[in-house]
């Protein structure tokens, strides 16, 4: 190993002489700079952190900052490893300061790495200085300023978690929690929608669930709190698009659909920004008033927007299905539910439940068999529902028992030359299906 290093040093001396490194990228003592750069990287790759730290410190002392960005990237890893093993409080604090200064130097000398270095500096502050709430929040705000819509979802979760922690310690207000939720939610939602990689989308989705969980359990997400905090602001600037959108989002997430502020904000948002989201919010407003045809109209408008995702369209179609059912238009309810699961297969179980209910509630004429055959189809769909989503099994079984009691008696089926297990076609209320004969004994 020593022989190899001696040969490497000789090679560097010759190379630096021939290329003129002494006045260039690697500083006055280019040989020592390059040697220590190479030696610390070799030791680091070999897993010898202590030796790597020794050579790295020399490289940091001898080399200009622009000699190697890795000097700061790998150097941050070396310092983090040392910090983890340091028990002396003063030495640990000193090493943390050194670590953070590495990110500052990297930011100053490698502007292309601004977002990456700022993000990792935030992570280190949150990890090693997590008890310094304001410092964590300052680092969070700086990361948001630099990265904007591209802020990593892990950063967003940490920010939400920190402001909630501060709220529990009474160093942050309910307004601060609401503002943080309003800030990070649209960013992570856009990441879910626009992620090209499945893993990135899964990470964003998991972090969105964490953010929602923190907010839902914060004690802040009550209709009363939201109205108290945002009512005066809305009254002061009712045409502020960002403010109105935030109010609608918060009240919608908290299911405060009957609040006067929600109604006013939704109507104003649609005037300011007739987007698919404001159309969706407006549909809820009309649904509350039992104006289901108008609610359906706005949901169809939301679905028609090229900006809405398939997952969102699936949700809207499920709402449409529910509204059609309330209007006793069971055929349209079933059709909307089918379209919903085509948009988002993950909601197939819920869609089958709606289709089953539509068949079960349909009014079908005819003889004793024809007027009851739709119950067979209803039960078919409830079976499909629990097979698609086991969490629906209890509800599905309840409806299976409920509608099975309306099956025709065996003797009634016999009168029409129909036997258990035979195939039977049903048409009713704009719906059609093929099912299996089942009778009550």
pLDDT one-digit tens code per residue, 115-129: 999 999 999 999 999
The more confident residue out of 20 and 115 is 115
Confidence at residue 349, expressed as pLDDT on a 0 to 100 scale? 96
Q: What percent of the chain has pLDDT over 90?
A: 70
pLDDT one-digit tens code per residue, 269-301: 889 988 898 899 889 889 988 999 999 999 999
Average pLDDT for 187-206: 88
DSSP H helical ranges for 363-409: 373-388, 393-404
Tokens of 399: 């409806």
Give 423's strand partners: 436
Per DSSP, 129 falls in state S
User: Is pLDDT above 90 for 217?
Assistant: no
Rounded Cα gap, residues 16 and 35, in angstroms: 11
Confidence at residue 392, expressed as pLDDT on a 0 to 100 scale? 95
Average pLDDT for 16-40: 75
- φ/ψ (deg, to 5) at 379: -65, -40
Q: Rg (Cα) of the chain, in Å, rounded?
A: 32
Q: What percent of the chain has pLDDT over 70?
A: 95
* 56 confidence band (pLDDT: 50, 70, 90): very high
User: Is pLDDT above 90 for 229?
Assistant: no
Overall pTM surpassing 0.85 (yes/no): no
How many Cβ atoms from other residues are within 10 Å of residue 93's Cβ?
Answer: 14
* 197 confidence band (pLDDT: 50, 70, 90): confident
* 257 confidence band (pLDDT: 50, 70, 90): confident
* Mean pLDDT, the chain, integer: 90
Which residue from 169, 184, 100, 90 is spatially nearest to 133, judged by alpha carbons? 169
User: Is pLDDT above 60 for 2?
Assistant: no
CB 264 within 8 A of CB 231: no
Residues 6+ positions from 10 with CB-CB distance below 8 Å: none
Residues 6+ positions from 258 with CB-CB distance below 8 Å: 288
Which of 31-35, 39-43, 192-196 is least confident?
192-196
Average pLDDT for 404-421: 91
Three-state secondary-structure class, residue 295: helix
pLDDT one-digit tens code per residue, 171-192: 999 989 989 998 998 899 889 8
Strands 423-428 and 431-436: antiparallel
DSSP H helical ranges for 132-173: 133-147, 153-168
């Amino acid at each position: 190993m020593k022989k190899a290093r001696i040969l490497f040093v000789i090679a560097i001396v010759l190379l630096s002489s021939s290329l003129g490194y002494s006045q260039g990228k690697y500083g006055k003592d280019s040989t020592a700079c390059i040697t220590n750069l190479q030696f610390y990287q070799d030791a680091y790759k070999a897993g010898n952190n202590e030796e790597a730290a020794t050579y790295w410190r020399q490289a940091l002392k001898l080399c200009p900052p622009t000699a190697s960005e890795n000097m700061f990237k790998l150097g941050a890893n070396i310092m983090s490893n040392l910090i983890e093993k340091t028990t002396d409080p003063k030495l640990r604090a000193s090493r943390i300061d050194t670590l953070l200064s590495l990110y500052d130097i990297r930011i100053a000398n490698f502007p292309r790495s601004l977002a990456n270095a700022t993000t990792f500096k935030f992570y280190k502050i949150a990890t090693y200085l997590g008890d310094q709430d304001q410092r964590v929040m300052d680092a969070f705000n700086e990361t948001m300023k630099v990265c904007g819509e591209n802020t990593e979802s892990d950063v967003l979760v940490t920010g939400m978690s920190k402001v909630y922690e501060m709220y529990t310690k009474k160093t942050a207000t309910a307004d601060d929690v609401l503002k943080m939720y309003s800030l990070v939610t649209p960013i992570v939602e856009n990441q879910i929608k626009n992620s090209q990689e499945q893993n990135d989308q899964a990470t964003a989705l998991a972090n969105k669930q964490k953010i929602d969980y923190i907010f839902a359990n914060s004690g802040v997400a009550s209709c009363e709190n939201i109205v108290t905090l945002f009512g005066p602001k809305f009254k002061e600037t009712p045409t502020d698009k960002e403010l109105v959108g935030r109010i609608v989002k918060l009240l919608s997430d908290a299911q405060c659909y009957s609040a006067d502020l929600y109604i006013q904000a939704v109507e104003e948002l649609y005037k300011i920004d007739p987007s698919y989201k404001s159309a969706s919010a407006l549909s809820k407003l009309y649904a509350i008033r039992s104006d289901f045809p108008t609610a359906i109209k706005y949901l169809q408008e939301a679905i028609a927007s090229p900006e809405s995702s398939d997952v969102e369209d699936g949700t809207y179609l499920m709402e449409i299905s529910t509204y059609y059912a309330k209007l006793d238009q069971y055929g349209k309810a079933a059709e909307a539910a089918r379209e919903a699961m085509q948009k988002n297969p993950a909601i197939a179980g819920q869609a089958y439940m709606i289709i089953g209910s539509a068949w079960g509630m349909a009014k079908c004429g005819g003889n004793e068999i024809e007027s009851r055959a739709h119950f067979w189809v209803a039960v078919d769909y409830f079976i499909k529902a629990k097979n698609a989503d086991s969490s629906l099994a209890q509800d599905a079984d309840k409806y299976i028992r409920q509608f099975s009691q309306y099956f025709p008696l065996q003797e009634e089926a016999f009168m029409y030359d129909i036997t258990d297990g035979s195939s039977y076609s049903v048409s009713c209320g704009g719906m059609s299906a093929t099912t299996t004969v089942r009778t009550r004994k």
